[in-house]
Each structure stands twice: as C-alpha cells, then as structure tokens.
C-alpha cells in the first residue's frame, strides 16, 4: 500500500492500518477546518451608543478603546486579529485564529486529533519496523547454528 511501502507482505492488517491512517488524516483535516473557521467569540459594539457616551456611563477599564466594545471579565483584545474575544485564551498561529469561547472545544478537538494521529503512526511504525526486521532473510551456518542478517 502507499502508507507502508517497505513491508514485504501486504496482508489484512496493513489494509486496516491504511484505512485507519486515512481516517485519522481526515479527522485532523476536518477538525482543523472547524477550529480555524469557527468564530472565536468576537465581541460586537453596542448598538446606538457612541464611545463617548459609553465612557461616561461605564467604567473605562471595561471598555476597549480600539474595538469600542464593552469587555467582559475574561475578554481580551487580540493584537493580531485586532478584535476583542470573549474568554480569550490565545491567538494560535497553527489555526491562524484566536482561541476563545466560540471555538475552544473545536480547538481541543483539533489537538486531540493530532495527538491520535501521532500515537497511531508511532504504533504503526513500530509494528512495521518489527515485521520488517522479522522478515529479513538470514544466512545460517549449519555447523555451529549461528545466523547473520543478510542485507538485500
């Protein structure tokens, strides 16, 4: 198959590993698309109120002068996206999006998908390497029973 080209025998287990690899790859791509495209929880400006009016009525520490919005306790302004995000965690360069209240679960799903992909391929590589070594031809000396690995 395409995933494990160095293996001498392609049997049912390698077919299953190939389909599992395709499935985990699809899981990573879909979770990436959802995490990067989902709104992080961008705060919207208040309708019908000017920023000067908000400064008079609301504590200035609760206002973002750049976005001209009322911030909640855990919202922060992202200097990369230039928006205020509800429950701001961080701006992730891998998904090119802020991680906030709106996409936090999608981001964790993306991290889980990558972790599953790495663990799966590490296990598949160990299995493939073991089978590769076990299936190597050997040259045995009939007199003393010693065998040596023959490189093909």
Q: Give 7-58 pLDDT, tens digit per residue.
A: 445 567 778 888 888 999 999 999 999 999 999 999 888 777 777 676 767 7
- The Cα 99–Cα 112 span in angstroms is 15
Q: How confident is the model at residue 125 (pLDDT cuts 50, 70, 90)?
A: confident
- The Cα 83–Cα 102 span in angstroms is 14
Q: Dmax of the chain from CA atoms?
A: 99
Q: Look up 140 and say whether it is catalytic.
A: no
Task: Choose, from 67, 78, 84, 92, the residue flagged as catalytic.
Answer: 92
Please give the pLDDT value at position 105: 96
End-to-end CA distance of the chain: 20
Q: What is the value of pTM for the model shown?
A: 0.74
Helices vs. strands in the chain: H and E counts, helices first: 3, 8
Sign of the dihedral through C-alpha 52, 58, 60, 62: negative
- The Cα 62–Cα 25 span in angstroms is 43
Q: Where are the domains of the chain?
A: 12-126
């Amino acid at each position: 198959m395409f995933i494990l080209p160095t293996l001498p025998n392609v049997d049912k287990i390698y077919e299953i590993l190939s389909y599992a690899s395709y499935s985990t790859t699809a899981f990573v791509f879909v979770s990436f698309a959802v995490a990067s495209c989902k709104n992080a929880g961008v705060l919207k400006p208040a309708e019908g109120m000017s920023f000067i009016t908000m400064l008079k009525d609301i504590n200035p520490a609760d206002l973002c002068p750049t976005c001209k919005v009322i911030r909640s306790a855990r919202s922060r302004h992202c200097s990369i996206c230039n928006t205020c995000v509800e429950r701001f965690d961080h701006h992730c360069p891998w998904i090119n999006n802020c991680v906030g209240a709106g996409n936090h679960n999608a981001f964790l799903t993306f991290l889980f998908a990558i972790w599953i992909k790495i663990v799966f391929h590490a296990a598949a590589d160990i299995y493939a390497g073991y089978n590769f070594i076990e299936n190597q031809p050997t040259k045995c000396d009939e007199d003393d029973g010693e065998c040596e690995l023959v490189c093909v």
